[in-house]
């Protein structure tokens, strides 16, 4: 039985981050991952077009950026032209307000809606998001008493910032904290896709190309059973995917979490950018953005356009209809079949492993990094810990798991 300081199960962003941080602290680390590292952050090369697995954006003011900076990793890329964003209402594309001046003149709002939305945005940066963990997004919007036109725009912002179309389920602390990030420092699309982060994090790590099947605590050690035999460690970080996959490794353990956040995605390599470059559905949960440029994702003179339909939890799979709707949206922005060089449809992609809900305490109610009754076993992932959402949660929980694991190993 091979003896190791720390075993990290899973080679996605959370696992790679935990391993790099622990290794930097002088801990001997092995990452157990049967597939190519990266998980949902992998980028695929399709005839020179770099396709992320659906639209990915790194929040400039989020926890992930801070963790990466601590490792000396500075992501490169470009920011979307949000001042050119349009809303799709019925079959009409209408410019979205992107400044106080455009808010005043927006055709999407009456005078009451303009005043109400202006007041909300002015105080949003000062809002204590954590204080809203006890209510849903829908409940929070009800409390605000916004006119219908203003409420529709706020609901759009929530969808874009959270990737979730579940106002009756999602806790409002997630929505507000994500809107604060989106309207603050904004986001960045990464050159070469998120493979840039995967490659930077994987440098110098040792991988066991096998699958973990079970994790047990025996005699003060953690035993990680794999298809190639057991590994004996002082500690283990489980970053193997969502709560179901993690629970399967911990026989007899379960996690009380909300439903997954999913989306249907259409990735296009095109001869031209979409015009306008960003479109968000006002009466339908749709998304379109030209990611490259501003990021370097395509051959010279070409573009990468990501489209998505946010799926409500439990929504029946209508893959053919979703694809047709996304292709129609692409045509609405001037991208015809002759303009598409490469395409890929992902019928149902997991965006976040579990949605924070008010009945579970919102962000603060997610499973903790430490596993009760399993000393030496720690969790990391986008559904773990009380800090951040999306990739920010994955890296924040990974940093905490690495800190606790290395402290234990050092004893």
pLDDT in tens, 108-134: 999 999 999 999 999 999 999 999 999
Q: 368 and 404 share a domain?
A: yes
Q: 233 and 363 share a domain?
A: yes
Which of 137, 160, 184 is where one domain is finished?
A: 184
Strand order in the sheet with 340-352: 92-95, 86-89, 278-281, 286-292, 303-311, 261-270, 340-352
Q: What is the mean pLDDT of residues 335-351?
A: 96
- Domain presence at residue 251: yes
pLDDT at 55: 97
Q: Residue 98 — pLDDT band, cuts 50, 70, 90? A: confident
Which residue range forms the structural domain that includes residue 208? 2-42+196-258+356-410
pLDDT of residue 5 exceeding 70, the answer is: yes
pLDDT of residue 316 exceeding 90, the answer is: no
Q: 104 and 133 share a domain?
A: yes
- Domain presence at residue 36: yes
Q: Residue 20 — pLDDT band, cuts 50, 70, 90? A: very high
Q: Residue 390 — pLDDT band, cuts 50, 70, 90? A: very high
pLDDT of residue 138 exceeding 70, the answer is: yes
Q: 382 and 253 share a domain?
A: yes
- Output the average pLDDT for the chain: 96
Q: What is the mean pLDDT of residues 326-351?
A: 96
Around 244, how many Cα atoms within 13 Å sit in the side-chain half-sphere?
A: 7
pLDDT of residue 401 exceeding 80, the answer is: yes
pLDDT of residue 186 exceeding 90, the answer is: yes
For the domain that residue 211 is a member of, what is the CATH number?
3.50.50.60
Q: 108 and 244 share a domain?
A: no
Q: 375 and 248 share a domain?
A: yes
- Domain presence at residue 225: yes
Per-residue model confidence as pLDDT tens digits over 241-295: 899 999 999 987 999 999 999 999 999 999 999 999 999 999 999 999 999 999 9
pLDDT of residue 1 exceeding 80, the answer is: no
pLDDT at 220: 87
Q: What is the mean pLDDT of residues 28-51?
A: 97
pLDDT at 102: 86
- Residue partners of 288: CB distance under 8 A and separation at least 6: 274, 278, 279, 280, 305, 306, 307, 329, 330, 333
- Domain presence at residue 81: no
pLDDT at 361: 97
Which of 156, 184, 212 is where one domain is finished?
A: 184
Q: Angle CA(220)–CA(226)–CA(232) in degrees, nearest 5?
A: 25
Q: 206 and 176 share a domain?
A: no
pLDDT of residue 30 exceeding 70, the answer is: yes
Q: 105 and 175 share a domain?
A: yes
- Domain presence at residue 112: yes
More confident: 103 or 10: 10
- Domain presence at residue 289: no
- Domain presence at residue 54: no
Looking up tokens 């306008």 gives 276
- Domain presence at residue 84: no
What gap in Å lies between CA 238 and CA 69, rounded to an integer?
23
What gap in Å lies between CA 380 and CA 39, rounded to an integer?
13
For the domain that residue 117 is a member of, what is the CATH number?
1.10.405
Q: Residue 2 — pLDDT band, cuts 50, 70, 90? A: low
- Number of domains within the chain: 2
Which of 152, 184, 216 is where one domain is finished?
A: 184
Q: 171 and 239 share a domain?
A: no
pLDDT of residue 231 exceeding 80, the answer is: yes
Model's pTM, two decimal places?
Answer: 0.95
Q: 134 and 172 share a domain?
A: yes
Q: 160 and 223 share a domain?
A: no
pLDDT at 101: 81
Q: 141 and 120 share a domain?
A: yes
């Amino acid at each position: 039985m091979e003896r190791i300081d720390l075993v990290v199960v899973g080679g996605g962003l959370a696992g790679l981050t935990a391993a790099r941080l622990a290794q930097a602290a002088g801990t001997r680390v092995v990452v157990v991952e049967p597939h190519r590292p990266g998980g949902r952050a992998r980028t695929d090369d399709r005839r020179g077009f770099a396709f992320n697995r659906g639209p990915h954006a790194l929040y400039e003011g989020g926890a992930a950026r801070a963790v990466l900076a601590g490792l000396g990793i500075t992501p490169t890329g470009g920011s979307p032209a949000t001042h050119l964003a349009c809303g799709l209402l019925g079959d009409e594309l209408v410019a979205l307000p992107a400044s106080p001046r455009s808010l005043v003149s927006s055709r999407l709002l009456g005078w009451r809606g303009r005043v109400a939305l202006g007041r909300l945005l002015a105080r949003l940066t000062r809002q204590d998001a954590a204080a809203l963990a006890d209510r849903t997004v829908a409940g929070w919007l009800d409390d605000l008493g916004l006119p219908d036109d203003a409420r529709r725009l706020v609901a759009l912002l929530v969808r874009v910032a959270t990737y979730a179309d579940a106002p009756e389920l999602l806790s409002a602390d997630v929505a507000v904290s994500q809107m604060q990030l989106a309207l603050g420092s904004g986001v960045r699309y990464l050159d070469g896709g998120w493979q840039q982060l995967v490659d930077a994090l994987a440098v110098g790590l040792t991988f066991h190309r096998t699958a973990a099947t079970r994790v047990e605590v025996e005699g003060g050690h953690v035993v990680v059973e794999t298809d190639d035999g057991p590994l004996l460690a002082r500690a283990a970080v489980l970053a193997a995917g969502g709560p179901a996959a993690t629970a399967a490794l911990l026989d007899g353990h379960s996690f009380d979490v909300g439903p997954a956040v999913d989306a249907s995605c259409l990735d296009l390599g095109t001869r031209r950018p979409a015009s306008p470059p960003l479109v968000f559905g006002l009466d339908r949960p749709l998304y379109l953005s030209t990611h490259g440029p501003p990021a370097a994702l395509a051959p010279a003179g070409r573009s990468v356009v990501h489209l998505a339909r946010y799926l409500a939890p439990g929504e029946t799979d209508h893959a053919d209809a979703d694809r047709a709707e996304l292709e129609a949206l692409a045509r609405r922005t001037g991208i015809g079949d002759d303009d598409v060089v490469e395409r890929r449809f992902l019928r149902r992609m997991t965006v976040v492993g579990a949605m924070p809900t008010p009945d579970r305490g919102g962000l603060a109610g997610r499973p903790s990094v430490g596993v009760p009754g399993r000393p030496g076993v720690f969790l990391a992932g986008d559904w773990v810990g009380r800090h951040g959402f999306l990739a920010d949660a994955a890296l924040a929980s990974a940093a905490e798991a690495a800190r606790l694991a290395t402290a234990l190993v050092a004893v």
